[in-house]
Structure 1
Amino acid sequence: MDAPEPFEAQIMAEFAQRRELFAHMAKDLQDILLTLIAREGVSISNLSVRIKGEETLRRKVRFKHKYTRLAEITDVIGCRIITLFEDDVDRVRDLISREFDVLEVVERRRKHQEAVDFGYNSLHLIVRFSGARVQLAEYQAYGDIPFEIQIRTVLQHAWAEIEHGLGYKNDFEIPRIVRRRLSRLSAALELLDEEFCNVRDEVDRYNHSIDRIERVLKTDINLTSLRRYLDTSETVREINAAIAEGQGLPMTFDPEFLVRQKVPQKLAFQGIRYIHELDELLRAQRERIISFGRLWLRARRPDGFNYYAIVHFALAGLALSEGEVPDEGQLKMLMESVYRLAERKPASE
C-alpha cells in the first residue's frame, strides 16, 4: 500500500467520528429520494445508498494525493438510481436539481466516448441538501455534507457489471478483436435503450386509444384490448352476475387466465378477431352463456368463479342448440373442446 498521506490520520479520524451521522443521513436520503421519485411518477428498477468503506476511503486518500479534510471527498455517501428507460435519466436529474443544491455535474455520455464505454454512459451529480431542506430540524446536521448521485438505465448498469466482471483494468489491456466485439455490443445496447423508450411510448399511445369502450369495440383482439373490454363492458358484468347468482361462490379476478388459456387464439380459431364481434356474440347468446355457465359451475363446484372465464362459456355455448340442456358428460366434452381450440389453426379470413 502507498505511504500514508500527511492528512490521512485526520481524515480517517473525522470519518470515524461522523460515521453514525453518515448512516442516519444515508437512510434519510434514501427515504427522501424514493418519495420524490414516486411523486414524479418515474418507474425505477432500483435505488441504493451506500457509505464508503473505511479501507476504500483510505485507499482513495492515498491514491489521489490531494485531500486535506473529509469535506473535500464528495462521495463518502453515494447513491445509485437505476431507471427503466433512458429518458427517465434526465427526468430524475431535473428532479434532483429542483430538490437539492447541485455542486457539480459529470455527464458521461457515449457521444463523447469510445463505443466500448457504454457502461459508463451515466450521469453523476455532486449535490448537498438544499437550504430549505436543512431548515428542517431533522436535516440540519446534513447541510455541509456533499454526496454523489449516479443515474443510469438498467441496460447501462448491466453492461457496467458485465464489463467489470471481464476483469480488464483499462482499454489498453483489451485485444483489438475483443474491442471490436465490445463496440458492437455497446452500440446494440444503446439502440435497445432507445427502442425500449419507443416501445413504451407506443404502448402508452395504444392504451390511451382504447380507454373508452367505444374505441375498444373497434379494436382487434389481443391480450390488452380483451382485458380492457372485459373489465369495462356492462354486458360482461351483467352476464357474470347472472351466472354467479345463487351459486354461493366468490367471484375471483384472475386475468392471467387469458394468457394461460390462450383465449385470443381460441377466439381467432372461431373467426372472432375484433372486440365488436365478441361483444355481439355475448349480447346475442346472453341467455345461452348464462345457462351454460350455471350448469358448469353446478357440475364442477370450483372454489371460485373467475370473472374472465366468461369467454370460455361463450365459446362452449356456440356448440349448443337453442334451449339444449347438456348432461355432465356433454358439459365435459364441450369444455375440453374449448381447451383444445388454441392447438388448432385459426379459421381463415
Structure 2
Amino acid sequence: MSDILDKEQFFKRFSIDEKYFESTGLVWEELLKIYEDYIALVPYLEKEAEHIVSKLIDGNNVHSVRRRVKKPEHLIEKIIRKGKKYVDKGISVETYKKIVTDLIGIRVLHLFKDDWRGIHEDIMNLWEIRETPQINIRRGDYNVAQLQESISELNCEIVVRDHGYRSVHYLIGIPVTRKDEILVEIQVRTVFEEAWSEIDHLMRYPYDVDNPIITEYLGIFNRIVGSADEMGTFIKKMKFQFSVHKDKDFPPRELDNKFK
C-alpha cells in the first residue's frame, strides 16, 4: 500500500501533537486504509449529495440548500480529533462509514423561525431517520417546557446549549453502494443562524476555540442573530395581519396582544 499521506506533514498541517496521537490508541496504518477506501467512495457521495439536494430544494419554505462531502484529509483529521471516542467504537476501514455521521452534510436554510415545520415534514416523509431529530437552542431563547409542549407531536429532542448554537439536526441513512450505507447529517436553520455559524466556525477553528475575546464578541453577535430572527417572525405576522385587515382600519387594537 502506498503511503499517500505523509504523517509528519499531515500532523504539521493540522497541528496534531504526536503524544496526543499515541494516547488515542489509533494506528496510522489503519488510518491510511480508511483514507484510500474513502477516496474511492467520494465520487458516489458527490452524486448522492446532489440527489438529496434535488429532493429538498423545492420543499415547503426552503430558501436554499447547501451540500458538502467531507474531504479525505478532513475525515482523517476528525477521526484523530475524536481519538479515543472513535477507538472505543472500534473504528476501522470496515466500520468508519457507520461511525462517522457527517461524510455528507446538508444544510437547509429558511427565512423565518417557524418555517422549519414544513421542512421537518418533508424530511420525515422522504427518508428513514436513524436518530431522534434534535432541536438545538441557545439557553434563554425559549421556555423549554412551553417549547416541548408546542412540538409534542413532532417527536423531537430539545438540546439546550450554552454557546449559542441553533439548528434542527436529522440523521438519515443512505445506501451508496450495494454493501455500503452511510449516515447523512441534515441541519435545518434560518439564514441568520447560518451566517452566525459560518463566522463562528471561521473564527474559532482550529486555533482560537478558547480565546475569551473572540468568544465574548461571538456571543454578542449570536444574541443579535437571535433578535434578528425574532424581528423576522414579527414582520411575518405583521404582513399577515395587514393582509387580513386590508379593507379595515389597521392596526386593530388587539394586535399587540397577538404578538406577546
Q: TM-score range by the shorter chain?
A: 0.5 to 0.7
Judge conservation of contact 1:47–1:81 (CA < 8 Å) in 2: yes
Q: 3-state DSSP class of the match of 2:112? A: coil
Judge conservation of contact 1:123–1:150 (CA < 8 Å) in 2: yes
* CA drift at 1:143: 7.4
* CA drift at 1:182: 4.5
The 1:146/1:166 distance shift into structure 2, 3 A limit, reads closer
Aligned residues: 196
* CA drift at 1:186: 2.8
Q: Name the structure 2 match of 1:29.
A: 52
Q: Name the structure 1 match of 2:143.
A: none
Q: Name which of 99, 110, 117 aligns with 2:126.
A: 99
* CA drift at 1:189: 2.5
Judge conservation of contact 2:49–2:69 (CA < 8 Å) in 1: yes
Structure of greater Rg = 1
Q: Name the structure 1 match of 2:145.
A: none
Judge conservation of contact 1:25–1:142 (CA < 8 Å) in 2: no
What is the alpha-carbon distance in structure 2 between the residues aligned to residue 82 and residue 142 of structure 1? 32
Q: Does 1:150 align with 2:178?
A: no
Q: Name the structure 2 match of 1:295.
A: none
Q: Name which of 214, 232, 236 aligns with 1:200.
A: 236
Report which structure shows greater RCO (CA 8 Å, sep ≥6): 2
The 1:62/1:164 distance shift into structure 2, 3 A limit, reads closer
What is the alpha-carbon distance in structure 1 between the residues aligned to residue 123 and residue 180 of structure 2? 16
Query: RMSD in angstroms over aligned alpha carbons?
Result: 2.9
What is the alpha-carbon distance in structure 2 between the residues aligned to residue 143 and residue 16 of structure 1? 14
The 1:186/1:48 distance shift into structure 2, 3 A limit, reads closer
Judge conservation of contact 1:128–1:145 (CA < 8 Å) in 2: yes
Q: Name which of 32, 44, 51 aligns with 2:69.
A: 51
TM-score between the two structures when normalised by the length of structure 2: 0.64
Q: Name the structure 1 match of 2:138.
A: 110
Q: Tell me, which stretches of 5 or more residues in structure 2 are unaligned?
A: 1-10, 22-26, 140-159, 251-260
What is the alpha-carbon distance in structure 1 between the residues aligned to residue 138 and residue 219 of structure 2? 11
Q: Name the structure 2 match of 1:242.
A: none
What is the alpha-carbon distance in structure 2 between the residues aligned to residue 181 and residue 91 of structure 1? 33
Q: 3-state DSSP class of the match of 2:102? A: coil
Instruction: For 1:75-224, list aligned pairs within 5 A.
Output: 75-104=102-131, 105-111=133-139, 112-114=160-162, 117-118=163-164, 120-129=165-174, 144-167=181-204, 169=207, 172-175=210-213, 182-210=218-246, 215=247
TM-score between the two structures when normalised by the length of structure 1: 0.49
Judge conservation of contact 2:110–2:189 (CA < 8 Å) in 1: yes
